[in-house]
Amino acid sequence: MGEKHTVRLEPVGIEMEVDEDETILDAAFRQGLMLMHGCKEGQCAACKSFLLDGEVDLDRYSTFALPDYEEQEGYTLLCRAHALTDLEIELINFDEEVLRSGVPLQVLSARVEAIEELTSDIRRLVLKLAPGESMAFHAGQYVDISIPGHPQEHRSFSMANTCAAGDELEFMIKLYPGGRFSGLLSDGSISVGDELQVTGPYGVFTLRDSSPRRLVFIGGGAGMAPVLSLLRSMVEKNCERPAVYYYGARGEEDLFHLGELQELAAKLPDFRFVPALSNADTNGWGGEKGLITDVVDRLEGDLADVDAYLCGPPPMVDAAIALLMRRGTAESHIYFDKFTTSAD
Ligand SMILES: Cc1cc2nc3c(=O)[nH]c(=O)nc-3n(C[C@H](O)[C@H](O)[C@H](O)COP(=O)(O)OP(=O)(O)OC[C@H]3O[C@@H](n4cnc5c(N)ncnc54)[C@H](O)[C@@H]3O)c2cc1C
Ligand code: FES
């Protein structure tokens, strides 16, 4: 354990204790404070904040997330910053509803219950927690799964289910050639019955229940996981907010869970699922065509009064944020999870 310091978070006026050995973000998680974050690895900028007073030391990060000139101006990444003195920090992105709704972190062992093919490069992974164990989480959150044999290394995966299932966690995992974790799923090195270690829950891609606004979900690939979790939770909560889900895939063979999405449309009072295919060769496809952001651009009118939830690869999320902001969506009403990888 290192030296302890006090961190004051503005403008919310919360004080917390931080050990020099932990990042400020980890100290917040430990104390049940859900500060804004994404990758937790200095790649996505979701945790960017302003250092009003004091000194920090930063672990390795991407200069895309924190360019040098911003670091010199006083910006910092809470997922990389260690306090060297007492600190005063101005949170740039924060949401008081979420900040105090943190669920305590758990480190649990889970057994692989099922691995199923959803598409040629997306697998459904179901984990069952040990008897008597359960994990509380908000729909839309994610956990870190340790890489077998390398307990210090992990990959983040969003739950597709809700915590109503109690002892089960369901994931959608894209297979990457040479991927340290997904490679183990594709070559059979992880199989039913194996034990995996999960840590979580993390993430702020959660429904703001107090909002009356229409919901616009935009995503692609395995980014369906947290959106499905949110949609399933809306059914559980009898949520009546109008919602539309724009989902981008390459070809028809890359679409999955169409049956359940149709069922959700029947269960939710005002929900539409709009799949779109980006491959030029989509003969016989009667639905929308093109990049998912172009489809949203074409079909949507004014987007000033919506809550938007975006999830998928970083370039898709960035394009969707730019589109929404052009159409008048307030930055504070855009929520996203970028599925960054070690290659980013
Ligand atoms: C908040 C969050 C939630 C996420 N949720 C999900 C989810 O629900 N489903 C999901 O599928 N993914 C999700 N991800 C992404 C996931 O965590 C992993 O990053 C992803 O699965 C890749 O991990 P991997 O170990 O399989 O591949 P990695 O070993 O990380 O490699 C990924 C790819 O990059 C290549 N690569 C690695 N390093 C380099 C390099 N230096 N230069 C060039 N290429 C390189 C590899 O060959 C491979 O093709 C999420 C990420 C975040 C941050
Ligand atoms: S850069 Fe800190 S959470 Fe992604």
- pLDDT tens per residue, range 118-175: 999 999 999 999 999 999 999 999 999 999 999 889 999 999 999 998 899 999 999 9
What is the model's pLDDT at position 1?
A: 77
What is the model's pLDDT at position 152?
A: 87
Dihedral sign for Cα 79, 84, 90, 94, please. Answer: positive
Q: Which CATH number fits domain 214-338: 3.40.50.970, 3.30.70.1710, 3.40.190.10, 3.40.50.80?
A: 3.40.50.80
What is the separation of C-alpha 237 from the centre of its chain, rounded to a whole number of angstroms? 21
Beta-strand pair 150-158/243-249: unpaired
Looking at ligand 1, which residue's alpha carbon is closest to its atom 15?
339
Stretch 28-51: mean pLDDT: 91
Residue range 193-243, pLDDT digits in tens: 999 999 999 999 999 988 999 999 999 999 999 999 999 999 999 999 999
- The ranges of the chain annotated as CATH 2.40.30.10 are 106-202
336 pLDDT above the threshold of 90: yes
Separation of first and last alpha carbons in the chain: 31
247 pLDDT above the threshold of 90: yes
What is the model's pLDDT at position 342?
A: 77
For the CA of 44, the closest atom of ligand 1 is: 53
For the CA of 341, the closest atom of ligand 1 is: 19
- What residues flank ligand 2, with Cβ below 6 Å? 37-40, 42-47, 65, 77, 79
For the CA of 340, the closest atom of ligand 2 is: 4
Q: Which ligand is nearest to the CA of 203?
A: 1
282 pLDDT above the threshold of 80: no
Q: Which ligand is nearest to the CA of 340?
A: 1
Token pair recorded at residue 214: 């229409």
Q: How far is the CA of 296 from the centre of ligand 2 (A)?
A: 27
Stretch 48-72: mean pLDDT: 97
The answer to whether 339 touches 312, Cβ cutoff 8 Å, is yes
Rounded distance, CA 226 to CA 142, Å?
Answer: 8
What is the model's pLDDT at position 98?
A: 85
What is the model's pLDDT at position 81?
A: 98
Looking at ligand 1, which residue's alpha carbon is closest to its atom 48?
179
- What residues flank ligand 1, with Cβ below 6 Å? 38-39, 142, 155-158, 171-174, 176-183, 222, 225, 337, 339-343
* Residues linked to residue 73 through DSSP beta bridges, in sequence order: none
Q: How far is the CA of 143 from the centre of ligand 1 (A)?
A: 14
What is the model's pLDDT at position 68?
A: 97
281 pLDDT above the threshold of 80: no
What is the model's pLDDT at position 109?
A: 96
Residue range 16-35, pLDDT digits in tens: 999 999 999 999 988 888 99
What is the model's pLDDT at position 237?
A: 95
- The ranges of the chain annotated as CATH 3.40.50.80 are 214-338
Q: Which ligand is nearest to the CA of 180?
A: 1
The answer to whether 284 touches 253, Cβ cutoff 8 Å, is no
Cis link prior to 11 (omega < 30° from 0)?
yes
pTM of the full structure: 0.92
Q: Which CATH number fits domain 4-99: 3.10.20.30, 3.40.50.720, 3.40.50.300, 3.90.950.10?
A: 3.10.20.30
- The ranges of the chain annotated as CATH 3.10.20.30 are 4-99
pLDDT-derived band at 105 (thresholds 50, 70, 90) equals confident
What is the model's pLDDT at position 153?
A: 93
Average confidence score pLDDT of the chain: 94
2 pLDDT above the threshold of 80: yes
pLDDT-derived band at 111 (thresholds 50, 70, 90) equals very high
What is the model's pLDDT at position 193?
A: 97
For the CA of 177, the closest atom of ligand 1 is: 49
Residue range 91-102, pLDDT digits in tens: 998 888 888 887
Stretch 320-341: mean pLDDT: 93
For the CA of 38, the closest atom of ligand 1 is: 1
Rounded distance, CA 158 to CA 222, Å?
Answer: 9
CATH code, residues 106-202: 2.40.30.10
Share of the chain above pLDDT 70, in %: 99
Residue 227: which residues within 8 A CB-CB, separation 6 or more?
140, 217, 219, 245, 247, 309, 311
What is the model's pLDDT at position 97?
A: 80
What is the model's pLDDT at position 104?
A: 80
Token pair recorded at residue 56: 């920090």
